[in-house]
Amino acid sequence: GGFSEFIRIPEINVDRGVLKLSDEVTYEEASFVEPLGCVIRGQRLAGFQMTDSILVMGSGMTGLLHIQLAKAQGAGRIIATDLNDYKLNASKNFGADYAFHADHDIASRIKEVNEGRLADMVVVCVGAKSAILQAFDLVEPGGTILFFAPSGPNTNIEIPFNNLWWSGVKTLSSYAASPSDLAIALELIRSKRVNVADMVTHRLPLSETGAGFRMVEEGGDSIKVIVEPHK
């Protein structure tokens, strides 16, 4: 990992993977280039189209980036779910049209606000087995499910295959980003089409890196925790 004041970078990475920051992008904002690049790749592979209704399950950092990117690309309706009220409020602040507590009857709520239809695309930003299975009940026939978070080690999930086959739902996973995705992410941040500055909730010195990881793991009121190695 890069949690140190100075790190050595292989020459090949410098030659092929370095993006120059303009004066319009702060170092804090630049820390979002990699996760936003991954989000860009995921939505591109999933075939996101303008006017699609999109459900984002999990309103943490990556979920909020999915919401903002979908908004910037002209999504029809954006619906967010989470178990955390703080993050549900954050999802609305960052562009979700509707935010529902994950314990509610989500399928019925989606149909209420989406003209009787389920979501064209479901983005699963949590790794809980229950959420992964729930996604199949929330996507419109012919729609797409994008799995964007890992599950626990050795997790096995049984899926009703015939229901999946009859519904014609496309499923895929994505987690990385290409250099071109990262360049697009940097431009979206520079142009403020995606607002990442307001997603930073905590700033910690290098000595408190462990506390930062615990904040992220526990959820609570943290979205993006920044470690400042010079402090």
Q: What is the pTM of this model?
A: 0.94
Residue 158: how many other CB atoms lie within 10 Å: 7
Confidence category of residue 165, pLDDT binned at 50, 70, 90: very high
pLDDT digits (tens, 9 = 90+) for 28-59: 999 999 999 999 999 999 999 988 999 999 99
Does residue 8 carry a pLDDT above 90?
no
Does residue 1 carry a pLDDT above 70?
no
The CATH class given to the 33-173 domain equals: alpha beta
Residues 7 and 2: their CA atoms lie apart, in Å, by 7
Which of 88, 75, 79, 82 shows the shortest CA–CA distance to 46?
75
Confidence category of residue 113, pLDDT binned at 50, 70, 90: very high
pLDDT digits (tens, 9 = 90+) for 122-152: 999 999 999 999 999 999 999 999 999 999 8
Which of 151, 144, 98 shows the shortest CA–CA distance to 123?
144
- Count helices and strands in the chain by DSSP H and E runs: 10, 8
Token couple for 122 = 């479901």
Token couple for 45 = 């592979």
Domain spans, the chain: 33-173
Mean pLDDT of 207-213: 93
Residues 127 and 202: their CA atoms lie apart, in Å, by 24
**Residue 28 to residues 115, 131, 135, 219, Cα–Cα distance (Å):** 40, 31, 33, 20
